[in-house]
Amino acid sequence: MQVSNRYRLVEPIGEGGMGVVWRAYDELLDRTVAIKEVRYTGVGDAKRAELNRRTIREARAAGRLDHPSVVVIHDVVEEDGRPWIVMQLVRSRSLAQVIRESGPLRTAQVAVIGGRVLDALRAAHATGVLHRDVKPENVLLADDGRVVLTDFGIASMETEAGLTATGGLVGTPAYMPPERLNGEPARPESDLWSLGATLYAAVEGEAPFKRDSWAATVAAVLRDEPGRPVRAGALEPVIMGLLRRLPAARMTAEEAARLLHEAASETTALRPADGATHDMTSVRRRGRARWIAVGAVAVLGAGGVLLFSQFLTPPPAGSPSTPTASAAAPSPEPSPEPSTEPSTEPTKEPSKEPTREATATPSAAQVPGGWRPYTSTAGRFSIALPDRWQAKKNPQRDSISFTGPGSPGAMIVEWTVPDLPWRDPVKHWAALEKEIKDKGEFERYTRIGITPVDYLGRQAADWEFTRVRGGVLIHVINRGFHTADGRPYALYWETPHSRWERDRRYFEAFAKTFRPR
């Protein structure tokens, strides 16, 4: 069967209360995709048409989201009287499947998963999109190491009330907050309650209000207090804070992000929890989810920043190149194009910001002459770019590379949450350096320094080194740090060593104008 004369259905790969998910082949773009066939049963024609309109509208709303932990929606079509949502096929296992097959997860694992799902929710909420069905079945642990929140098919634009108000109960009662079961509209706090229930299930093995029947589960959510989790450890405060009955009393997303980061960073959380039946290596062995992508292909930096690809052929001598986030490979020769270096020399030291982080875009005084502000919604940051420099999002990683005329160098900003959390950026860089040296990854690697710095009022570290790649000596500086709510960033600059003295000013200007949002 074909949908829209383009998508050939191959096989069903999942089924739920609102339809079937198919593996399909996009014959126009020659790629495999997932298609959700949305089915509404037991309703009249008028009601079905209304529900179809709602689904299409809300899928398009979700399709506007640009976040590495949100499944990509490619297309929305209507055929045979029902909607079909065409999505990125994420090769993965769901968190629910992992719990069923392997039992409760370790605290540190759940903290990392929860942090990524929360980051996706915060990005969605910032654009007015609510998920309304956060649960382990909709959290995917992807083969490429990502944690992806899927099934925004019943999401609702905050500012577009109406169609959903007349519909029936949509969602899974064990993961639905009390206000939703009482008939109140969904709100961002509702997704946070569902996240708390999901985290509870991940560390305990089952949902906090799971009962023997649908009605008993609904009654428990409405009247009972959640039982204290016995395996949660450092996660207990955030779980119980998110499961508060009144939305106004519920823990905020910002506080939850901070606590999840702290829980993920606890070294004691890396030990098996009482009753846990597996560790993160066993998750990879029993399924296909890969949690740490450090190996022969790439070396990861702060927050997982992809430093170098080992399988790329260097450009021919004398030819300019455009570095990408996966390669960051400058050409051996300077670019012949005219320089667009800053017209004023940036400060040689990072700006001393107050302890409270700046969240606005760089001010006019901070942006060098000839540069312009740039904002990344996916990365939740702003930075200034030289004239005619372009941004390129890495489709496989949480990073953006910036390149342009005037220098063969590349600036990369990455915000990937690491699978092995860290607190001290100096120790983190030193550990990564040791791993690189032990594996012999870099030819003629020479450390220049791993230096602690105060950056935007936060503890950070600059790792500076040289190495040979493709016969060219390159010079690198990489700044790693966390924001107050636990988001890791790496600001990575590299250029041929012969260009270092004249090109370092680019890194200084990038770092001076970078602002998390």
**Which stretches within 90-175 are classed as H helix?**
95-102, 107-126
187: its two tokens:
């709100």
Whether residue 145 contacts residue 190, with contact meaning beta carbons closer than 8 Å, is answered with no
374: its two tokens:
């740039």
Q: Residue 70 corresponds to which amino acid?
A: V
Of the residues 26, 66, 80, 133, which is catalytic? Answer: 133
**Annotation marks residue 80 as catalytic:** no
Q: Within a 10 A sphere around the Cβ of 225, how many other Cβ atoms? A: 12
Instruction: Give the helix/strand (H/E) hosting 134.
Output: none
412: its two tokens:
């990369």
Whether residue 21 contacts residue 12, with contact meaning beta carbons closer than 8 Å, is answered with yes
Query: Cα–Cα–Cα angle for 440, 427, 312, nearest 5°?
Result: 35
Phi, psi angle pair for 196, to nearest 5°: -60, -40
Closest CA to 371 of 359, 383, 361, 381: 383
CB-based burial of residue 1 (10 Å sphere; 0-12 exposed, 13-18 middle, 19+ buried)?
exposed
- DSSP code of residue 208: T
What DSSP assignment string belongs to 486-516?
S-EEEEEEEEEGGGHHHHHHHHHHHHHH-EE
Closest CA to 324 of 385, 275, 390: 390
CA distances from 424 to 42, 112, 176, 427 (A): 57, 17, 38, 5
- Grouping H, G, I as helix, E, B as strand and the rest as coil, residue 141 is strand
Contacts 24+ apart (CB under 8 A), 236-242: 238/114, 238/196, 238/199, 238/263, 239/196, 239/199, 239/200, 239/203, 240/196, 241/196, 242/192, 242/193, 242/195, 242/196, 242/199
- Grouping H, G, I as helix, E, B as strand and the rest as coil, residue 73 is strand
How many Å apart are CA 503 and CA 471, to the nearest integer? Answer: 20
Sign of CA dihedral 276, 280, 286, 291: positive
Q: Residue 432 corresponds to which amino acid?
A: L
Q: Active-site positions?
A: 133
